[in-house]
Amino acid sequence: GEYFFNNGGRGNKTFKPKKNIPEGSHQYELLKHAEATLGSGNLRMAVMLPEGEDLNEWVAVNTVDFFNQINMLYGTITDFCTEESCPVMSAGPKYEYHWADGTNIKKPIKCSAPKYIDYLMTWVQDQLDDETLFPSKIGVPFKRNFMSVAKTILKRLFRVYAHIYHQHFDSVMQLQEEAHLNTSFKHFIFFVQEFNLIDRKELVPLQELIEKLTTKDR
């Protein structure tokens, strides 16, 4: 499927989710394993590295999955996230994000939330589509810097959750998507906590929510 993002009237940008993980591949089996253990309801267990598996591959499969989930979740509220409603990319009044990717845009630029999220998702998509970073073939080794790239991807994806929770939660409620959003975010947080993938200071904008979602399951 394709998700259409309405970027405040400057033409629809189509996000195709990451080349779907090929059926019958080892990564597909891993994804199926992840889905099955999620169904058990025990998220702490579900995010753990399955026995005998490669950590890089487990992080890769889950990163792709989180990208697809956030893509869909943001897709449901794009009509409410416009240049007018969100002239800056924020997560509440205290946190504002400026975009830089280190290659095309080196100096952080202040831009609207829809534009920031467009830059962010396009950048993530480019990383996921890079076969040298996210190899889809069995036995192709991961690059030495894979984990640091994955951490940057997850740190940035977190900002989309933070923006949705702070600026668009009323729309999420109207659409009755809050259970879907909470489940997705909770899975995301348990995963990054399990492997220590995002700095604590980056998570501060949603600290209270994180505490609420994770204390019940200690």
Q: Residue 86 annotated as binding? A: yes
- Residues 188 and 162: their CA atoms lie apart, in Å, by 12
Max CA separation in the chain (angstroms): 50
129: its two tokens? 């589509």
| 111 annotated ligand-binding residue | no
Half-sphere exposure of 80 (CA within 13 A, CB side): 18
CB 127 within 8 A of CB 149: yes
What backbone torsions phi and psi does residue 52 show, to the nearest 5 degrees? Answer: 80, 5
Which uninterrupted H or E stretch holds 97? strand 96-97
Angstrom distance (rounded) from CA 155 to CA 41: 25
Give the DSSP per-residue string, 117-177.
Answer: HHHHHHHHHHHHT-TTTS--STTPPPPTTHHHHHHHHHHHHHHHHHHHHHHSHHHHHHTT-
Can you say which residues are annotated as belonging to the binding site for Zn(2+)?
A: 81, 86, 163, 168
Can you say which residues are annotated as belonging to the binding site?
A: 81, 86, 163, 168
